[in-house]
Amino acid sequence: MKFAVLVFPGSNCDIDMYHAIKDELGEEVEYVWHDATDLSEFDGILVPGGFSYGDYLRCGAMANQSNVMAEVKKAAEAGKPVLGVCNGFQILTEAGLLPGALLRNKNLKFMCRTVQLKVENNNTIFTSQYEQGQIINIPIAHGEGNYFCDEETLTALKENNQIVFTYSGENPNGSLEDIAGIVNERGNVLGMMPHPERAVDALLGSSDGLALFKSIVKQWRESHVS
């Protein structure tokens, strides 16, 4: 399986994402600059965290205007897995690929620590290697991770089982309904604030994020068996 790791001016988690795919999974991966106009050679798209364009104007808003986002939308429409983490999640909401918005943390402070997540839906291409209800340890590093949406959207998220991860115990940023990660209706686009790519080896403090990437590869291989 071949992954693209998008790189915007200000991205700083692209290397972590690349390491997770190449060194931990042993899959093919390439960095792709934000002005790219063709992602057709890639099987999966990874939108990493950081501060794209310095988070000026609004987190993810300027990145959404980059050439590559038109290609990300094409990949999503084609059913390819698209994962946005932290700033990547913000970019996906700005692009309309996921509903809702990410607001300032409730305490108005940047937070960087490991939190516990609950797997609310293990029936997705991103979570099949987890148990339903499993508690996992994944780090966060954000100042604007407070997920919000209107009541109609929240109802739809619940009815369609689109809430994939919630914060367990502590809700660090005030997110609505403890939401930490959601998928689109089709289930092939995931946005989450915590960083699974920073939890792929016990040396990092947790390897609980590795199963997310393994899930993507497993699903892709199963769907491409001739």
Q: Please give the positions annotated as active site.
A: 86, 195, 197
Yes or no: say if 136 and 119 are a contact pair by the CB < 8 Å rule: yes
Taking the mean position of all CA atoms in its chain, how far away is CA 136? 16
Cα distances from 186 to residues 53, 75, 208, in angstroms, run 29, 13, 25
Q: What residue spans of 67-172 are helical by DSSP H?
A: 67-77, 87-94, 151-159
Phi, psi of 127 (to 5 degrees): -130, 10
Residue 15's contacts (CB-CB under 8 Å, 6 or more residues apart) are none
Q: What is the CA radius of gyration of the chain?
A: 16
Pairing, β 163-167 against β 28-33: unpaired
